[in-house]
Amino acid sequence: MARVLSLFTFLFLGFLGLISFPAEAAIKKYQFDIQVKNVSRLCHAKPIVTVNGRFPGPTIYVREGDRVLVNVTNHAQYNMSIHWHGLKQYRNGWADGPAYITQCPIQTGSSYTYDFNVTGQRGTLWWHAHILWLRATVYGAIVIMPKQGTPFPFPQPNREVEILLGEWWHSDVEEVVKEGTNMGLPPNMSDAHTINGKPGPLFPCAEKHTFVMEVELGKTYLLRIINSALNDELFFAIAGHNMTVVEVDAVYTKPFTTSAILIAPGQTTNVLVQANQIPGRYFMATRPFMDAPLSIDNRTATAILQYKGIPNTVLPTLPQLPLSNDTQFALSYNKKLRSLNSPKYPANVPLKVDRNLFYTIGFGKNSCPTCLNGTKLLASLNNISFAMPQTALLQAHFFNIKGVYRADFPDKPPTPFNYTGAPLKANLGTATGTRVSKIAFNSTVELVLQDTNLLTVESHPFHLHGYNFFVVGTGIGNFDPAKDPAKYNLVDPMERNTVGVPTGGWTAIRFKADNPGVWFMHCHLELHTGWGLKTAFVVEDGPGQDQSVLPPPKDLPPC
């Protein structure tokens, strides 16, 4: 009998060994050394701030459920902070990264370890510097693979490639910004756009500065596309090849096929591309979308999609990108974006709203006797231009430090007017201050962002830290609270972390305030953020044990 039991135990344990149990969450460790390095583009070299000497910086590879520790050591002359764009950082704003919002920056010669969990997210996100204009060169991809054994909800690609779209300046970017600020004018626009840090062969000295992606006939490729540019919404297309959009901002979409995509700064888009054309060399190309009467760097950056075995002497063909002011394409493209809303990946849209917010986006001019025209430009939400504090807001909130901010940001503009009517050249009494909105834990919020014609209309990509939100509605002209909510999509709206407010229009988003802490919200055009187009939400602690902000780490940088 004992021998039979022993045999049974042996067989049972052997059987258990054959079963594939889910792997435990791993701890992924990275070292980021902030270093200045000479980099050559457009026929001359200049020193730039990099991570580990790389431009763009290294990709963070993790799996859903992993814990990530990134030790950042700052060897550069600038103070530094890193934002993990799109990661929700539940109760853990200390790892979010925006300077003077959730932390004071990492000073030269110091280190700080960002410690966070990747929970309930999978897909493409990215990281970037979140201080000054340093994200011009300090940025990289975050690739979150699904849990072990979980397939993508779309055809499995043969290979994956990260595509980071960016900008390049001949001069030191911080000097460019300083010059513009001193004159009270926008700083000089970039000298080139880039694909994976390279402008491509339409620019001089491009032999070494062109990204090439080799493909094999009949195979399928997943492109993880990130707009890392500071100030430009971008079109992206591949000559001769369609793209199938399957994810944006690390949220799966209902797949649709398109010849070009539109992607705003801060946004990510995953597309499937089939290598099903006549083998050759095809340009991938990007250039800005701008449908307002403003000057931009309108040159096209290119990379090459090259079929295996095709010699480099074959001339690539260019794709047909939309016209730079093609508003209709932009509106039509964004309308196609829908959440997958499957049983496994539901779209849990808040249907009941506890708090209605209406924020107007405006420009203005303040007196500046030392500036070129005696005035300087500024930007505002609800006529408030946000002033950055000297103590991080999250520290002030957590430790109850008085005098750092006021929690009285208005829920609606103090002066209603015809927002998108004839251009208003005058200020509407724009105030400057560190003012935030206090939000009750677990309440549902609807926020309507309304563009205005104060000085000029313009599109604005807004990013909310700490949350995803649902884009329930958008339109051109003034938002009508009596009529427009009836047209909302409350079934399968796109869920994302960065949304474009159309030129002369509005966008409505909804989210559940279930992540306590202080969360930045700002235009992701660095120019506008610097002018004050930003604010923050203080989401109060909940009553539960796991519904309050975690204590700060011991190595939190001092203010």
Mean pLDDT of 148-154: 96
Does pLDDT of 190 surpass 70? yes
The continuous run of DSSP H or E covering 521 comes out as: strand 517-523
pLDDT tens digits along 472-501: 999 999 999 999 999 999 999 999 999 999
Residue 363 · residue 379 · CB < 8 Å = yes
> In which band, very low, low, confident or very high, does the pLDDT at 2 lie, cut at 50, 70 and 90?
very low
Two tokens, residue 11: 């067989």
The boundaries of every CATH 2.60.40.420 domain in the chain are 27-145, 159-336, 355-539
Widest distance between CA atoms in the chain: 99
CATH number of 27-145: 2.60.40.420
Per-residue pLDDT averaged across 76-88, rounded?
Answer: 98
Mean pLDDT value across residues 191-201: 97
State how far the Cα of 106 lies from the Cα of 557, in Å rounded to an integer: 6
The tally of CA atoms less than 13 A away on the side-chain side of residue 286 is 32
pLDDT, average across residues 432-459: 97
8 Å CB contact between 520 and 89: no
Query: Taking Cα atoms as reference points, which of 66, 60, 118, 120 lies closest to residue 252?
Result: 120
> Confidence class of residue 10 from pLDDT cuts 50, 70 and 90?
very low
Is the CB of residue 277 less than 8 Å from the CB of residue 283? no
d(CA 515, CA 499): 20
Is the confidence at residue 409, as pLDDT, over 90?
yes
CATH number, domain 159-336, options 2.60.40.420, 3.30.110.30, 3.40.50.150, 3.30.479.10 = 2.60.40.420
C-alpha span between 481 and 487 (Å, rounded): 11
Between CA 494 and CA 473 the distance in angstroms is 10
Q: What's the CA gap between 452 and 134, in Å, rounded?
A: 29
Q: What is the pLDDT of residues 86-132, one digit of tens each?
A: 999 999 999 999 999 999 999 999 999 999 999 999 999 999 999 99
pLDDT in tens, 15-63: 333 333 345 689 999 999 999 999 999 998 999 999 999 999 999 999 9
**Which amino acid is present at 132?**
L
Give the model confidence (pLDDT) of 253-280 as tens digits.
999 999 999 999 999 999 999 999 999 9
- Measured distance between the N- and C-terminal CA atoms of the chain, rounded to whole angstroms: 73
Any residues with CB less than 8 A from the CB of 224 and at least 6 apart, and which?
Answer: 124, 141, 143, 160, 161, 162, 163, 268, 270
Smallest CA-to-CA distance from 221 within 297, 150, 268, 163 is with 163
Nearest-angstrom CA–CA distance, 378 and 51: 31
What is the identity of the amino acid at 26?
A
Quick check: 557 and 105 in contact, CB under 8 A?
Answer: yes
Q: Is the bond preceding 516 in cis, omega lying within 30 degrees of 0? A: no
Q: Running DSSP on this structure, what letter comes out for residue 13?
A: H
What residues contact residue 15 under an 8 Å CB cut-off, 6+ apart? none
Q: Is residue 9 scored above 50 in pLDDT?
A: no
Fold of 355-539: Immunoglobulin-like (2.60.40)
Q: Which two tokens stand for residue 369?
A: 């006797």
Residue (of 486, 464, 455, 475) closest to 536 by Cα position: 464
- The structure tokens listed for 5 are 């039991």
Task: Annotate 335-359 with DSSP letters as a single string.
Answer: HH--B---SSS------S-SEEEEE
Q: Around Cβ 257, how many Cβ atoms within 10 Å?
A: 11
d(CA 47, CA 256): 42
Nearest Cα to 235, choosing from 334, 151, 366, 159? 334
DSSP state at residue 154:
S
Q: Determine the pLDDT at residue 24.
A: 65
CA dist., res. 494 & res. 421, Å (int): 29
Predicted pLDDT of residue 23: 53
- pTM of the predicted model, to two decimals? 0.95
> What's the rounded Cα separation, in Å, for the pair 317 and 237?
12
Q: What is the DSSP letter of 493?
A: P
Q: Enter the tokens of residue 547.
A: 């519904």
Q: Alpha-carbon distance 194 to 210, whole Å?
A: 9
Averaged pLDDT of the chain: 94
3-class DSSP state for residue 346?
A: coil
Rounded Cα distance, 550 and 541, in Å: 10
In tens, the pLDDT along 495-541 reads 999 999 999 999 999 999 999 999 999 999 999 999 999 999 999 99
469 vs 447: CA distance, rounded Å? 10
Q: Which residues face 357 on adjacent strands?
A: 447
Distance CA 509, CA 356 (A): 10
Q: Nearest 5°: phi and psi at 196?
A: 55, 45
Give 207's Cβ-side CA count (13 Å radius).
Answer: 3
Rounded to an integer, the average pLDDT of 422-428 is: 76
**Residue 1 confidence (pLDDT) above 70:** no
- Nearest C-alpha neighbor of 30 from the set 86, 73, 75, 68: 68
Token pair 């990709």 is found at 59
The Cα 138–Cα 134 span in angstroms is 6
Name the band, by pLDDT with cuts 50, 70 and 90, for residue 234. Answer: very high
Give the C-alpha separation, 510 to 356, whole Å: 9
pLDDT at 173 over 90: yes
